[in-house]
Structure 1
Amino acid sequence: MPFNPLTIDLPVREIIPAVREHLAAQNTLIVNAPPGAGKSTLLPLAILDEAWLSGQKIIMLEPRRLAAKTIAERLAQLLGEEVGQTVGYRIRFETRISEQTRIEVITEGILTRMIHSDRALTGVGIVIFDEFHERSIHADVAMALSREAQHTLRPDLRILVMSATLDMPQLTSLLKAPVAQSMGRQYPIDTIYTGEADDRMLPEMTARVVQQAAKEREGDILVFLPGENDIRKVEMLLRKQLRGFQIHPLFGMLPFGKQYAAIMPDRNGRRKVVLATSIAETSLTIEGVSVVVDTGFGKTSRFDPKSGLSRLETVRISKDAADQRAGRAGRLGPGTAYRMWSKTTQERMAPHRTPEILEADLASLVLDMAQWGIMDIRSLTWLNPPPRAALQYATEMLHQLQALENGRITAHGQKMHALPCHPRIAHMLLKAEESNQTALASDIAAILEERDPLDRNAGIDINLRIEALRRYRKEQGQGKRFGKIEKVARSYRLLFSIAADNGTFDEYETGVLLTHCYPERIAYARPGNNAQFQLANGKYASAGHRDDLAHEPWLAIAHLHAGGEDNPGRIFLASPLNPRDLAPLVKQQESYTWDVNDGELTASLDTRIGSIVLQSKPLPAPDEKHRVPAISEAIKHEGEHLLDFNEEVTQWQNRVLSLRKWRPQEAWPDVSTPTLLMTNANWLKPLLFAIEHPDDLMQLELLPILGKFLDAEKLARIEVLAPLGINLPDGAPMELEYQPNGLPPKLEIRLQDILGWEQHPHVDGGDMTVELHLLTPDLKPITTVSDISTFWNGNYRVIKRQLEVVFPGINWER
């Protein structure tokens, strides 16, 4: 008897008839349903036998591997089958499908590769984007390419977008699609704010809140922490402090067996505590959970186009992520959410998470689009267009890796694209194949892609990791730390049909292979600066003074922290280099420099590797045609001091960047100072022809120049959503001070001027609270207020008594 999804008691079944009707009539639909409604479980099965599908496949995208596997298993279970029959899954390095598979649950990057191999997605009837609110870069790219296929080749291809926390008006407008909404069955959640958490003491404070929750509430506890290190510390504390509980970590790098143990009920009926990263925010139902403890922090990878590096940062989560996390407590019954922050902080949190495409390394995206034949990437219909500066950096890097030539993909680039890894790794593997070093390169690639298997005391030499990996293979897997790395290395060996090499190797060859991966991170020891190195990209980085590689003259650096404006980066993984091996990279070129002190244009003939100058000879009388490019290059590095980024300009930047943070779906431009400097040739070049002296740059009025970044519609919207100021009850205007990083704007104001206020001021259409910095009559700070009603009913009573004594001439009654 065929499976009938309408017999399953999940809230989403109420909209199944509407979903079927919509998809029969049009090719795009949005489903909005809260966590636990059953959209991932029932909707794929509900449309499996629709006439328009006519035997074609359903492809469902999941943001994480664990979710893809568990959902596939649940769907197969409902059909009474094994995974790999009607329902299968494909994740990186693991596939369970067959000829009879009609529903494939896949991780997001796999769909992009499917489209590249078959632009029409032949045999696919619908693509389902599950948990789309997470807005990973893979999901955004897959969406852009799927819509391109839908518009040009496959108007019959259906797209179904499913989520719990999306900005529906913006999404429906862009996709021109209707919404089928399920109200779900979310049980009531009691929210408890425990006060501010100190991120320096986060594990200890989290353990205390978990113990409090264990005493005050029944049921299993789900704890959200930023990353694995925090999870391990809390795990260690709770194993000592919390008796009678099973403690389970849950993060992406954990073996699947342990991940499954975390999401399933304890076999002996014991209460459990699951310590999870954001992996547990969506898709997965963790049985038995009725309590959530949320630290309010998460990890995000942010790419800096100025340094060319991505950094994993711990950041405050957004309101929608906090709601998503709290909702995990109410999926199976009434629950409790302990939030490790204050109500004031809750008001200050950004409404929505920032889409990854706005902060990520875009090298793979640029290569994907080049393979597709798209040169103007921003011409596609994006929910958020990728930033120009990051695109520019990625394009330049791919030219350096020989993947692109004049913006078009090369034969070498096509080979790179065919490999399931970052373009840097792909380039290294292909170059290694030419020199018969693929076995070594596959070991290097696996180590670069996975977490460092050695502790920090091991030093920065990557060759120590390669030796340890080869010992692991020789000893036939004695020691679990290298199991994951060896699995990845084996997958690369299979791609190139080679055997493992467990013998000795030349550490200088490791260095050469790393230069293929990171040519801009070739590093030369700075004379007189022990353990400091200049990189080919012009940056500086340091190793520990006692490290074995600290005194090497040349290094190939693989992993490093970018460092700050005045501080060198920190090297984490590197290999020594033999200078003789660098001969092919040494180039002679004419260099033109604009002196930022006197405006003089000078020229030299340099022998160099990137920015590392090995020898320089002055050249006489440089041609003036090089002046503007030299000024532009100087602005890239010194523009913050050469251009007048005054308070008015900074406030305009902060207003635009705040809206970019608060409204990521509206494609506000990136006008941050690093991006403006990096891309100055695009917006400032026509004015540079008149520049003779550095003082001339300082005379440029930036505000009207930068104003051209906004079209007429956005010029009007910024005045409404992020106004320069607000009016007091008596009509007097007061300026707001907008903050970096999307923080709430500040208003410094005397307390007696707001005594008549009942409503707290907001911007961003009412979604962002203005932070009131209250002052005494003589302009000294009193307190900061984010909720004026709470203030009047609480702290004001104490403050009022003090003010009446110090300032008796003012009527402090409201």
Structure 2
Amino acid sequence: MDPLPIDPLLPEVVSALRAGPALVVEAPPGAGKTTRLPPALLTAGLAGDGEVVVLEPRRLAARMAARRVAAELGERPGETVGWQVRFEDVSGPRTRLRYVTEALLTRRLLATPELPGVGAVVLDEFHERHLDGDLALALLARLAARRPDLKLVVMSATLDAGPVARFLGAPSLRSEGRAFPVELEHLSPEEAARDQRLEERVASAVRRALRDEPDGHVLVFLPGAAEIRRAREALSGLTLAEVLPLHGDLPPEEQDRAVGPSARRKVILSTNVAETSVTIEGVAAVVDSGLARVAAHSPWSGLPTLELRKVSRASAAQRAGRAGRTRAGRCLRLYTRHDHDARPEFDLPEIRREDLAGTALALAQLGVAAGEGFWLDAPPPAAWEAAHALLRDLGALDAAGRITALGRRLARFPLHPRLARLVVAAEEAGDGPGGALLAALLGERDIRAFEAGRLAGPGAPAPRRDVPTGPSDLLELASLFEEAARARFAEGALRRLRLAPGAVQAVERARRQLERLVQRRSTSTANSTATATATAAEEALLRATLAGFPDRVARRRAPGSDEVVLAGGGSARLAPESAVREAPLLVAVDAEERRVRVAGRPGAGGAVVRLASAVTQEMLLDLFPDALRYEEEVRWDATAERADGFERLVYRDLVLEEARAARVDPDRAAAALLEAARARGARSFAGEGALDRLLARLAFAARHAPDAGLPAPGEDGVEAALRAACVGRRSFAELREVGLEGALLGALAPPARALLERLAPERVTLPGGRSVKVEYEAGDKPPWIASRLQDFFGLADGPRLAQGRVPLVLHLLAPNGRAQQVTTDLAGFWSRHYPALRRELMRRYPRHAWPEDPLRAEPPQPRRR
């Protein structure tokens, strides 16, 4: 075997593991750690009689590493060395070195927590910090305390070994590797600003690299299979080199062509699998798009997705380093230096950004409390609580956080808990295979990938707009898939149906695996049935979808509207391509932020429901009776200025039905009226100024009879009167009719009202019989009356209040209503001012009587109406 940079370090690795149970190894890409270190553990006997299990972040890496090690041993894969990934197991009874994907080890730990038959575990490429890798590290560190014979190695290309070594209490070793200088080139800002598609930039950079480098291969990093396909089309006329794709969905023989030795120059169009996990000999130039499709989750459903993101600076360095593996090389970055420098140094670990429901269920199944010190990096508390809340919603955990019998059933499926709940519900209804298909369609890439915009580009079919109205987008997807299956997934049929071949194949593999699990369970499920009618099967799958997404129920805002109101608050719009156009209630299975067009105009951004499924009230009642409640509500109608009663049926916080109530609860109506009246202002429900005059009147009486116990209410009294006035009433009209000043007076006991009338009457009667309103003002201002001067003829003294103790201020008015004098000394006015004033009044108002002696004159009688 050719020597590799890691080889000199292997004796130290073996020695360290003989001395202790764990070790951290740092080695740059291309050092050979993936293919040389695990066999060294086996050869040194560090695994005892057990296996060495190597965790790889990707299926492609697991397959290729196992094949290379087997070839170096002169064996076929599946003998001493094998691999196991989802849907594929290449191993046998003699297999001692097994390369697996991270999630498979997690499931093995769930099934057999002590890992019998395993003597050593190697976590490769741990710097990628996948959620399954972090969970495996935590569980293995915990297991090591019970199994001192178990050896654990964590290998990384770029991660700082210090934190991992401290977490494990283990030493660390580093291989410096062997690297040649790599010349870096970035796009200029002017080049980056050009309107070019990615595949055009790639084709231009590849031709330049082939022209400038006399020999060697060109490795191109692209986000995914769709971008690889389009770049390959853009390079279709290339004669200087063979263009080969490299990604996880390719058959093994095509992967081997891409990475194996070749006499002819190659252009390898690869996903980020070639960053660290796979070494390709003879690469002289790298073209880096700076992009990757990374594992993410839909923030709406929590289901796994692939998201297009810029790579970190660490990933960019690893990509560039592939050009300096065996010789000096160059790296052409299809982005600016400023763009590179603005990127984060490392990608955020998945545990800090991913949905944690599956992880929480796994730990609950093991009975592990993931407290302080359990994780290398603890998950965000809010995300951890949200995961537990969802599991409680699904019935997987009880209120105390313990796993339920249903939760154990869900944990048996290699699915997100939502999808596992869907499958179990369909299985219980007798259509487990149908549930398996729906779960596969949701758990894998969208088979309508062109429509989802994920493979948009030249030659991509236009989005479907001819989807018939139906009860469920999931059933529509299942129908499309089954039509493709009947055509044996022929290329022409997939093109006619506008389906993405790679996604369809992934769904078919997942469906078969899930159907096998369902079939094994169905033999022991009492209520499984053989064959259901089409209607019953459809009903079963609609109910199963609801079971998996109980928190995503929505109500159409109006018949025929594409806007829905969501349980938990907020609203969203159904995507134009959704089949669910009529159902009043539905489950919003998946949504995304997108801009929609309404009536030919750009619409506002917001949540757009991509996948929906109809539900009924009967389904909600059958599956979640505790989440339904009947409510009576009194609501204020600002237009009618009235409290109205409503009866409604509510699911969680979502109103399903609402109708006006025949009877309104009087207490709640009064409360609603009081709140609205407060907002309007208490003085709106009394005559203008009447309330303040009454308060001043009460204050005057209380001030002049301090021992009588009369109240002198302020704003607190107004509030109390308003509250009392609202009792038994429900509208502003009724409140105005009673009048707030009347309510304030009504609060007084009869003796107090009588005393108020004696001390501070509302009106006084003058000698001629005229009744005049007494004006009271706040503070210490004296009360006053205003009337025509003639009304006071015959009076030597004006009226008095407080049982004669307080004279009224008299406003003596001319016939035109204007005050001629303001006084409390009526006798003095008659003697000192009246004679002169009389002459003026006689001149101005000759038709009125102006006697010389007002004290002996008779006042005019008020007119009778």
Partner of 1:680: none
Quote how far apart the aligned CAs of 1:305 are. Answer: 6.4
Does the Cα contact within 8 Å between 2:431 and 2:541 map onto a contact in 1?
no
Partner in structure 1 of residue 111 of structure 2: 117
Q: Distance in 2 between matches of 1:403 and 1:603?
A: 39
List alignment gaps of at least 5 residues for structure 2: 452-462, 468-472, 495-500, 523-529, 596-602, 636-643, 669-865
SS of residue in 1 equivalent to 2:43: coil
Contact kept, 8 Å, 2:223 with 2:272, in 1: the verdict is yes
C-alpha contact (below 8 Å) 2:46/2:120 kept by paired residues: no
- The 5-angstrom pairing of residues 418-567 of structure 1 reads 418-454=412-448, 455-456=450-451, 457-458=463-464, 461-479=473-491, 481=501, 482-497=504-519, 507-527=538-558, 530-545=561-576, 547-562=578-593, 567=605
> Which among 166, 179, 185 is matched to residue 178 of structure 2?
185
Please tell me whether the aligned partners of residues 507 and 576 of structure 1 are also in contact (alpha carbons under 8 angstroms). no
Give identity over the alignment, percent: 34
> What does residue range 159-558 of structure 1 map to in structure 2 within 5 Å?
159-196=152-189, 197=192, 201-217=197-213, 218-239=215-236, 242-265=238-261, 269-302=263-296, 312-375=306-369, 377-406=370-399, 407-454=401-448, 455-456=450-451, 457-458=463-464, 461-479=473-491, 481=501, 482-497=504-519, 507-527=538-558, 530-545=561-576, 547-558=578-589
Q: Structure 2 vs 1, CA of residues 380 and 416 (structure 1 numbering), >3 Å: closer, same or farther?
A: farther
| 1:570 aligned residue (597, 608, 612) | 608
Say whether 1:612 aligns with 2:654.
Answer: yes
Supply the distance in 2 between the matched residues of 1:111 and 1:401 (Cα, whole angstroms).
Answer: 25
Letter in 1 for 2:464: A
The question of whether the paired residues in 2 share the 8 Å contact of 1:471 and 1:502 is answered with: no
- The residue identity in structure 2 corresponding to 1:329 is A
- Superposed displacement of residue 411, structure 1: 0.8
Aligned pairs for 1:593-608 within 5 A:
607-608=649-650
Describe the shift of the 1:298–1:52 C-alpha distance in structure 2 as closer, same or farther (beyond 3 A): closer
1:85-127 deviations in whole A, cap 9, x for unaligned?
2111111121122222111111001111222222222222211
**Structure with greater contact order relative to length (CA < 8 Å, sep ≥ 6):** 1
One-letter amino acid of the counterpart of residue 467, structure 1: S
AA of the residue aligned to 1:458: R
Alignment partners' CA distance in 1, 2:311 and 2:45: 43
SS in 1 for 2:42: coil
C-alpha distance in 2 between matches for 1:299 and 1:458: 25
Deviation at residue 307 of structure 1 after TM alignment? 8.0
Find the aligned partners of 1:545 and 1:67 in 2 and give their Cα distance: 40
Amino acid at match of 2:3: D
Q: 1:238 to 1:502 in 2, by over 3 A?
A: farther
Relative to structure 1, is the Cα distance of residues 108 and 548 closer, same or farther in structure 2, using a 3 angstrom cutoff? Answer: closer
State the SS of the aligned residue for 2:235.
Answer: helix
The separation in 1 between residues aligned to 2:303 and 2:484, in whole angstroms, is 31
5+ residue gaps in structure 1?
A: 1-6, 596-601, 623-814
1:550 Cα deviation (Å)?
Answer: 3.2
Shift of 1:321: 0.8
Separation in 2 of the partners of 1:522 and 1:260?
A: 48
Question: Are residues 1:583 and 2:605 paired?
Answer: no
Larger radius of gyration: 2
Structure 2 residue identity aligned to 1:427: R
Contact 1:605 1:619 survives alignment (8 Å): no
Counterpart-to-counterpart distance in 2, 1:109 and 1:484: 17
- In the TM superposition, what is the alpha-carbon distance from 1:288 to its structure 2 partner? 3.5
CA contact (8 A) 1:473 1:502 kept: no
Offset at residue 515 of structure 1 (A)? 1.3
State the alpha-carbon separation in 2 of the partners of residues 320 and 420 from structure 1: 31
Equivalents in 2 of 1:201, 1:477: separation in Å?
31
User: By how many angstroms is 1:428 displaced?
Assistant: 1.1
TM-score with structure 1 setting the length? 0.69
Secondary structure at the residue paired with 1:180?
strand
**Structure 1, residues 291-310: CA drift from partner, whole Å, max 9, x if none?**
11112222345557688677
Instruction: Find the aligned partners of 2:311 and 2:632 in 1 and give their Cα distance.
Output: 45
Q: Is the 8 A contact 1:603 1:620 kept in 2?
A: no
**CA distance 1:310–1:127, change in 2 (3 Å):** closer
Aligned to 2:829: none
- How far residue 391 of structure 1 moved from its aligned partner, in angstroms, is 0.9
Q: Tell me, yes or no, if the aligned pair for 1:511 and 1:577 is still in contact at 8 Å.
A: yes
Deviations 1:308-362 (CA, angstroms, capped at 9, x unpaired):
6776543322111111111111223322111223333333222211111111010
Instruction: Report the aligned-residue RMSD.
Output: 3.3
Alignment of 1:39-118 (within 5 A): 39-118=33-112
Deviations 1:674-725 (A, max 9, x none): xxxxxxxxxxxxxxxxxxxxxxxxxxxxxxxxxxxxxxxxxxxxxxxxxxxx
Rounded to whole Å, the distance in 2 between the matches of 1:578 and 1:81 is 60
Q: What secondary structure does 1:239 align onto?
A: coil
Partners of 2:531 and 2:174 in 1: how far apart? 56
Q: Go from structure 1 to structure 2 and tell me whether the alpha carbon gap of 1:98 and 1:312 turns closer, same or farther (over 3 Å shift).
A: closer
Match of 1:147 among 141, 150, 155: 141
Contact 2:430 2:532 in 1 (8 A): no
* 1:589–1:605 CA contact under 8 A, matched in 2: no
Cα deviation per residue 1:498-536 (whole Å; 9 max; x = unaligned)?
799999665454332221222222332112783122233
Distance 1:395 1:9 in 2: 50
Partner amino acid for 1:485? V
